[in-house]
Amino acid sequence: MVRNIIYIACFSLLLLMASFSTVGVKQYQVKKVVIDAGHGGKDQGTHGVFSEEKDIALSVAKKLGKILAKHLPEVEVVYTRDSDNFISLEGRADIANENGADLFISIHANAMPAGNESVYGTETYVMGTHKVEDNLNVARRENSVILMEEDFEERYAGYDPNAPESHILFALYQNAYLGNSLVLADKIESQFKHRVGRRSRGVKQAGFLVLWRTSMPSVLVELGYLTNPKEEKYLNDELGQTYLASGIFRAIRDYKNEIETN
């Protein structure tokens, strides 16, 4: 009971602070994009029958970076990783912040428990509270990587990946950038649905640790479900990966054009 009261009090205070946090948010151009290939190294992420999330995320991330460099050469691309190495969630956000990024794109693949192999489609997440249990489950899975990090209890201030209240508290830190994050997320899902021809499961909100420390509009893209045999095959196909990367690129391009003309 005491713990719940403390969390409620903290939540109320942070909500009040967040209501003022949009004041002074910079109007900017998109000059630098940090592309984050989820997982890596000892952290394989989720997996399908024959592939692992970390490999698909890295492949699509590098394809996206190449497309950006070719078609928007004025935009600098920074990778959180460009090989199969492990980076903490905190470290990924630090790379974005220290480089003064204007956008942070974290790329992942999704999974469902056994018995739900028919589920498929893309999802793009922004930082926020969980409106449905499925969103919380995705955040728990992606956040559980902190258990592989040394001293995670101290580094993440007692964060418990299984406690819903932890996710809610972290969600407030991205409030200042939520509007722009939602705009970008919507453009990504629109590209996936209308240009790439994938099933879009929509834009969603959940408490992702990799997003909450970033000081810029940030999204986490779930490219599809490795637990769906047909979708796993698509996610491992070179052309399929190129289509997905192109969809994200077009969303970034359209977002850039929109905010720079307003």
Q: Is residue 51 part of a domain?
A: yes
Amino acid in position 37 = A
Q: Yes or no: say if 70 and 55 are a contact pair by the CB < 8 Å rule.
A: no
Instruction: Choose the weakest-confidence range: 33-47, 53-67, 79-93, 162-176.
Output: 162-176
Containing structural domain, residue 128: 30-261
The answer to which of 33-47, 98-112, 114-128 has the lowest mean pLDDT is 114-128
The interaxial angle of helices 164-171 and 2-20, nearest 10 deg, is 20
Domain count, the chain: 1
Give pLDDT tens digits for 202-235. Answer: 999 887 878 877 889 999 999 999 999 999 999 9
Full-model pTM: 0.79
CA–CA separation, 51 and 48 (whole Å): 5
Residue 9 maps to a domain: no
User: Any idea what the CATH number is for the domain that residue 232 is in?
Assistant: 3.40.630.40
Judge whether 236 lies within some domain. yes
Tell me the C-alpha distance between 233 and 185, whole Å.
Answer: 25
In a domain, 5, yes or no: no
User: Is residue 94 a part of any domain in this protein?
Assistant: yes
Nearest to 81 by CA among 106, 52, 115: 106
pLDDT tens digits along 118-177: 999 999 999 875 544 454 555 555 555 555 556 655 555 555 555 655 555 555 555 668
Q: Is residue 23 part of a domain?
A: no
Chain-wide mean pLDDT for the chain? 82
Tell me, yes or no, whether 12 lies in a domain. no
Residue 181 lies in a domain: yes
